[in-house]
C-alpha cells in the first residue's frame, strides 16, 4: 500500500501541476512510458484509485500503442512448450 500511495501521490502532483491528461501536460513523455506497465498492474489487480489517478490510467491504456500491446499479450499462448522442461 505504501508503494501505491507513493506512486499515486507523484501522479496527483504532476497531474495537478501540469493539468494532464499526461503527467507533464498535453504531450506524452518518458515518464508516461515508464508508468504504463504500472497502470496495467493497477487495473489488473483492481487497485482502487481516486478520480485523477483512475482517469490517468484510462488515458494510458487507451493509447493506440497500449491497446496494441495489450491485444498482443492476450494472443500469447498460455504455455510455451520450450519452457516446459523439468530439471
Task: Tell me whether residue 80 is exposed, middle or buried, using C-beta atoms within 10 angstroms of its C-beta: 0 to 12, 13 to 18, 19 or more.
Answer: exposed
pLDDT tens sequence across 3-57 = 999 999 999 999 999 999 999 999 999 999 999 999 999 999 999 999 999 999 9
Locate 74 and state its grid cell: 492476450
User: Band of the pLDDT at 76, cuts 50, 70, 90?
Assistant: confident
3-state helix, strand, coil in the chain (%, to 5): 65, 0, 30
Spatial separation of the C-alpha atoms in residues 4 and 6, rounded to whole Å: 5
pTM of the model: 0.84
User: What residue spans define the domains of the chain?
Assistant: 2-73
Amino acid at each position: 500500500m505504501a508503494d501505491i500511495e507513493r506512486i499515486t501521490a507523484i501522479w496527483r502532483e504532476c497531474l495537478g501541476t501540469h493539468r494532464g491528461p499526461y503527467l507533464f501536460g498535453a504531450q506524452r513523455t518518458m515518464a508516461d512510458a515508464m508508468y504504463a506497465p504500472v497502470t496495467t498492474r493497477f487495473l489488473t489487480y483492481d487497485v482502487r484509485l481516486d478520480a485523477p489517478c483512475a482517469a490517468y490510467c484510462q488515458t494510458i491504456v487507451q493509447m493506440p500503442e497500449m491497446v496494441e500491446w495489450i491485444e498482443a499479450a492476450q494472443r500469447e499462448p498460455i504455455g510455451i512448450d520450450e519452457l516446459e522442461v523439468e530439471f
